[in-house]
Structure 1
Amino acid sequence: MDPPNSPISRDLQFRSKQLAERLSECAHILDHDPSMALYRLQEHANKMVPRMVARRCQMGQQNANIQGACFDLDNAIQTIGQMKLAQPTFERIQNALRNSVYFKQQIEHEMARKRSVNGKE
């Protein structure tokens, strides 16, 4: 075997010590990190969940508002379409009113002429 102070023995001891330290560090991380990770997750969840719930409620309200606006818009589009379909009816009514006013003026003119003819006699 090699003497205790030989370069190979010192190198072997150094590498063995490094390996032991690394294994110890890995065991320590595996032992403590999961609980630390779970603690960090819990901390993050406690911090973020109330914000996320508030945001979800806000998104629900905005979604309801958007759906209401879409319903109103669809209703307005249908109403305008129905008004376009009613346009010929309104034009006929306008022509009938125009004719009625014209005939009323004709009747009033005839009545006034008869009065003036009767008044001269």
Structure 2
Amino acid sequence: EPGTELYLKSDLITDKFTESMYILANEPSVALYRLQEHVRRSLPELAQHKADMQSWEEQSQGAIYTVEYACSAIKNMVDSSVYFESIERLLKHAIAVKDQMNSAQGRR
């Protein structure tokens, strides 16, 4: 019968349309499931990397502070050389005065 063929074709088209709609409706949820699966698998490793990076940053900051403190101490030592030279001159002068006093006492 001609009507039966039309009915079978329309049934086939309806089935294909329904299947396409089902795939389109479920595709995003499948993609989200895969994404969630990936995140769940990789998250612990990423969290560990983050913790490691924070630890290294803290260690680096500590090392930078130590180097800056050492540089500051060295600069202060260099700047204080003027005072040490002055002290050295005063000590030499004091020794010279003491020697003069000793020789003056020896002559008496």
TM-score w.r.t. the length of structure 2 is: 0.64
**Which of these residues, 27, 35, 40, is aligned with residue 29 of structure 2?**
35
2:64 maps to which residue? 70
Structure 2: runs of 5+ lacking an equivalent: 1-9
Deviation at 1:102, TM superposition (A): 6.1
- The DSSP-based 3-state class of the residue aligned with 2:80 is helix
1:90 maps to which residue? 84
Give the superposed CA RMSD. 3.4
Give the whole-Å Cα distance in 2 for the aligned partners of 1:59 and 1:85.
Answer: 38
Deviation at 1:49, TM superposition (A): 0.6
Deviation at 1:99, TM superposition (A): 4.9
1:7 maps to which residue? none
Deviation at 1:79, TM superposition (A): 1.1
Counterparts of 1:1-121 in structure 2, within 5 Å, are 23-24=17-18, 26-99=20-93
Q: Deviations over 1:20-68 (max 9, x none)?
A: 6874553132132122112101110111110111011011101101111
2:3 maps to which residue? none
Q: Deviations over 1:84-120 (max 9, x none)?
A: 2200111123334445666777888899xxxxxxxxx
Give the whole-Å Cα distance in 1 for the aligned partners of 2:99 and 2:16.
Answer: 113
Q: Which has the higher contact order (CA 8 A, sep 6+)?
A: 1
Q: What count of residue pairs does the alignment treat as equivalent? A: 99
